[in-house]
Amino acid sequence: MEMGNVGVKHDVVSYSSMISCYSKGGNLHKVLRLFDRMKKECIEPDRKAYNAVVHALAKARFVAEAMNMMKTMEEEKGMKPNVVTYNSLIKPLCTAKKTEEAKRVFDEMMEKGIFPTIPTYHAFMRILRTGDEVFELLAKMRKMGCEPTADTYIMLIRKFCRWRDFDNVLLL
């Protein structure tokens, strides 16, 4: 049941929350439908709504469309993408093993002065293939002032154990 069916008037917060929820659930059709309806009702989407649409598109592997949505957000609506916007592109690209595209998005983010966060680095760590790559990324992460978390170490320990690279586990 949607809120409009029970007499609650939608606003930017309710629409953005619903769009975000459907985006996290991977329901692209519902995300796009709600986003269109929001605009038809003359409710201006906020950054949360745009980020959710970018995420849903990228997760469904509509990367060009996700990048176009980000461009619309910035050029037509005057909303600067933030780290959440960029992570919404980077994580699905990494999951789809589109490393070069993910690196291009990362570079664009850095050029705009938007600094990566733990989720940004975790997306890349999931696709690394060697211990050298892991330690190189950890060094970059620290250099950027982003300290690894317990979750970072757990992910890397599991990765090294899967690789049967127990010596590198001890180097963490």
| % of residues, the chain, pLDDT over 70 | 96
Residue 141 confidence (pLDDT): 95
Residues 6+ apart with CB under 8 A from 161: 169
| % of residues, the chain, pLDDT over 90 | 83
Tens-digit pLDDT profile for residues 51-89: 999 999 999 999 999 999 999 999 988 999 999 999 999
Six token digits for residue 30: 């519902």
Tens-digit pLDDT profile for residues 108-126: 999 999 999 999 999 999 9
Tens-digit pLDDT profile for residues 19-61: 999 999 999 999 999 999 999 999 999 999 999 999 999 999 9
Q: Specify burial of residue 118 (Cβ count, 10 A radius: 0-12, 13-18, 19+).
A: middle
Identify the H or E element spanning 92: helix 83-95
List the domain boundaries for the chain: 1-81, 82-172
Q: How many CA atoms lie within 13 A of 52 on its CB side?
A: 27
pTM for this predicted structure: 0.83
CA distance 52 to 47: 8
